[in-house]
Amino acid sequence: MAKIKTRYICQHCGRETNRWMGKCPECGNWNTFKEEITDKKGRPKEYITAVNKPANINEIDLEGEIRFSTGIGELDRVLGGGIVPGSLVLVGGDPGIGKSTLLLQVSAALASGSGKVLYVSGEESLNQIKMRAQRLGLNSKELYLASETNIDAIQAYIESIKPAFVVVDSIQTAYHPDLESAPGSVSQVRECTACLLRLAKGSGIPVFIIGHVTKDGSIAGPRVLEHMVDCVLYFEGERHYIYRILRAVKNRFGSTNEIGIFEMGDSGLKEVKNPSEMLLSGRPVGVSGSVVVSSIEGTRPILIEIQALLSPTTFGMPRRMTTGLDYNRVILLMAVLEKRIGLNLANQDAYLNVAGGIRIDEPAVDLGIAAAIASSFKEIRINPLTVAIGEIGLAGEIRGVSYIESRVKEASKLGFNTCVIPEDNLKGLKNVEGINIVGVKTLRQGLEIILGG
């Protein structure tokens, strides 16, 4: 009888050792090593086939390697133009963000025009998946559902049905029968992903797998999981808001700069083809503390409203709260306003919000944040047709930003008549019809134009 081999594996980073250790020398976490069976039946023999033989790069034919559309334009954009045959794509995100909903919609769309689709769920029964499909209004004769967690059974389903597309929801529920560790452990996740990877590359069937995320926002399991797949897509957004952002953090077949924006409704996820117009709908008019900024998500410019509310504090320590903005960045900008502009904000509670539930991290919206704070503090209404763009330095200077032409064109397209930008960005900027472009060099100049316009 073959001897069972065991190893201690870190559940956070996948580090393997022959003995238990309290602290992982790789990631530094404590009490993460667990004993797992790594080899029960011995390693299978590797058989060399004709497929594994090296081929000259000039003799490889790419005519058959074409992408095919998912039926959802925003997803095609993030993938780089569509699904590549034989690719393995990992979709991650917070619970309830819409991962299963999106892939069920994609499965139904592909089953209506690209062939058979197999949707395997380890978390829901067939009746539950059917109920969700009915709620979303999805129905296709070529869509096959399975409730299974055994990876060998999943492979058998794929070999018998021969689908054109496979979805596994989720990889943390799948297990390999030769490993006695629990589903979701490092060895199980890694082995199941490796099985799906070999299947995708060997058969040319694209496979999408859903991965759970931990409380710090990373994919549950070892980081090696992200290195094994071809694409890693993250679903971002708050569950209490209707907008979702699909972002690619790894893509072997396209750029990682593109994002897809969706709106969550009763009938599932819908594409948002003009996010600026939707995010600015319902904007208040004639109220201080509201300003429009231009942010870049991927390569797409988006106009977003930033709101600020300042009120005298009733406690000794003023409160600072932000939603959708970097808290430390807002504190820094308030310090610049106090030191360089002379605004007495030390006794003011400050509340800042990005309308629509979108999160902004780029420094190009600094001028808009400062203008919203100053507008609320001085009770001065900002011209609703003005857009503020620029990064603020600690000396109160306005620094140049990237993609300035795209930002200005987006503002002009939506009917804005004034755009305040850094003076450095005026060099080489082409004139845009219908909008007045004003260059500023300091924060004081920018506030005088924005608050006085």
Q: How many residues does the chain have?
A: 453
* 338, two tokens: 């106090």
Q: Annotation-wise, does 400 bind a ligand? A: no
3-state secondary structure string, the chain? CCCCEEEEEECCCCCEECCCCCECCCCCCECCEEEEEEECCCCCCCCCCHHHCCCCHHHCCCCCCCCECCCCHHHHHHHCCCECCCCEEEEEECCCCCHHHHHHHHHHHHHCCCCCEEEEECCCCHHHHHHHHHHHCCCCCCEEEEECCEHHHHHHHHHHHCCCEEEEECCCCCECCCCCCCCCCHHHHHHHHHHHHHHHHHHCCCEEEEECECCCCCECCCCHHHHHCCEEEEEECCCCCCEEEEEEEEECCCCCCCEEEEEEECCEEEECCCHHHHHCCCCCCCCCCEEEEEEEECCEEEEEEEEEEEEECCCCCCCEEEECCCHHHHHHHHHHHHHHHCCCCCCEEEEEEECCCCCCCCHHHHHHHHHHHHHHHHCCCCCCCEEECCEECCCCEEECCCCHHHHHHHHHHCCCCEEEEEHHHHCCCCCCCCCEEEEECEHHHHHHHHHHC
Residue 250: partners with Cβ closer than 8 Å, 6 or more residues away: 226, 229, 230, 231, 232, 256
Which residue do the tokens 């790594």 mark?
A: 38
Whether residue 289 is annotated as binding a ligand: the answer is no
Check whether 94 is labelled as a binding-site residue. Answer: yes
Residue 99 assigned to a binding site:
yes
| 349 labeled part of a ligand binding site | no
- The candidate with the shortest Cα–Cα distance to 16, out of 42, 34, 41, 40, is 34
What is the three-state SS of 102-117? Answer: HHHHHHHHHHCCCCCE
For 251, 261, 363, 393, 434, the CA distances from 390, given in Å and listed in that order, are: 30, 24, 7, 10, 21
96 is in an annotated binding site: yes
To the question of whether residue 368 is assigned a binding role by annotation, the answer is: no
Distance CA 278, CA 164 (A): 36
Q: Which tokens is 172 given?
A: 């943390």
254 carries a ligand binding annotation:
no
Summarize the annotated binding site for ATP as residue ranges.
93-100
Summarize the annotated binding site as residue ranges.
93-100
